[in-house]
Amino acid sequence: MSFYDEIIKYDLDSFRHLVDNASDKDIERALTKDENLDVKDFAALISDRARVRYLKHMAQKSMMLTRRRFGRAVSMYVPLYLTNLCTNKCTYCGFSANNKFKRTVLNSEQIQQECEAIKELGYDNILLVSGEAQRRAGVDYFAKVLPIVKNYASYLQMEVQPLETDEYALLKELGLDSVSVYQETYHQECYKQHHLAGKKADYRYRLETPDRLGMAGIDKIGIGALLGLYDWKVDCCAVALHILYLREHYWKTRLSVSFPRLRPATGGFEPQYPMTDAQTVQLICAWRIFDPQLDLTISTRESASFRDMVVPLGITAMSAQSSTEPGGYTHKGQELEQWSINDDRSVSEVVAALHINGLEAVFHDASTSYFKAL
């Protein structure tokens, strides 16, 4: 059994009806619950009715729950792109095999140089990112990379192609703490339309990756949908269902949710289901109310002003002065980026903005030391 066996029981488009028909009673019930919210509660919180009539109440509760659980700390992390080589053909991604440009796979010396540059920025939490190319950047490559990067990171995350359970277990032994794997869209027909070739075209294999991570005992699993690929209300209800499943089956594992809004990418892709700022604010509050334990991450895809506005509402992790190209910290501008960064402020500027909001930037994930000591 896996989450795939659970989600195929549902007509995902029925979630849209659940959202659109939420009543005041449904919304108020969700807002007064202290725990055990279900998908119907979440659907009510992301309804148009909730945004128009209850958003201020949602924001107040979201901030209260965030301060209660996480204090005023915001975890700072930085992505380190290992390669832009990818065998997948995805309509929305700059790394898609369809796009013609010079491909790069960083070697050990280049990775160490990137880590040195990242260390100078103050980071102790590194997210390794790669295109999906099993032959040249598979588990053997990662097994060589992790010991290098672990010398520079107290908390080590990955966002790479899905792997097998035993491969995750091996990387955990080498210092891996967290893995993010985004389904992009949970709607199978839409998924098929945007994932044209490569291993990523296998909807079920990708969807079952968090199960394999849970079985491997990874400290934290990150999931989410790429907002704008399909109806965000449908996809986010599916994410909520996935969270409930993971909480039940892998209760020792921490969970993280990211909610990147699609931006134009190389290849001419334009989002078909755009999401407004107000809807994004509402979604952040809904996630926090739905599960106060979730780590919520805001992307540098968003503008500086928007990030400054929403971080106090419930965000617990963010990056700054990021590069989305391999080698970008030592030779910026040499290769193609996966997507365009919107908030290009320096680390010090972002930290200063957090201080203005009464928040503290934390560059060391102390929680992992605590949990490993238990």
Residue 200 confidence (pLDDT) above 90: yes
Beta bridge partners of 126: 78, 156
Q: Would you tell me how many other CB atoms lie within 10 Å of the CB of residue 21?
A: 12
Strands (E), the chain: 73-76, 78-83, 89-90, 125-130, 155-159, 178-180, 195-197, 220-224, 254-258, 295-298, 317-318, 360-362
Q: Can you name the CATH fold of 3-373?
A: TIM Barrel (3.20.20)
Q: What is the pTM of this model?
A: 0.93
Q: What is the pLDDT of residues 213-234, one digit of tens each?
A: 999 999 999 999 999 899 999 9
Cβ atoms of residues 253 and 211 within 8 Å? no
What pLDDT, on the 0 to 100 scale, is given for residue 337?
Answer: 53
Q: What is the pLDDT of residues 314-367, one digit of tens each?
A: 999 999 999 888 999 998 655 555 456 789 999 999 999 999 999 999 998 655
Mapping DSSP to helix (H, G, I), strand (E, B) and coil, where does residue 313 land?
A: helix
Cβ atoms of residues 95 and 131 within 8 Å? yes
Cβ atoms of residues 256 and 180 within 8 Å? yes
Q: What is the pLDDT of residues 99-145, one digit of tens each?
A: 676 788 999 999 999 999 999 999 999 999 998 888 889 999 999 99
Domain boundaries in the chain? 3-373
Closest CA to 162 of 104, 201, 122, 108: 201
Pair of tokens at residue 163: 């792997």
What pLDDT, on the 0 to 100 scale, is given for residue 172?
Answer: 98
Average pLDDT taken over every residue of the chain: 92
CA distances from 78 to 41, 128, 209, 329 (A): 34, 9, 23, 11
- Length of the chain as a residue count: 374
What pLDDT, on the 0 to 100 scale, is given for residue 135?
Answer: 87
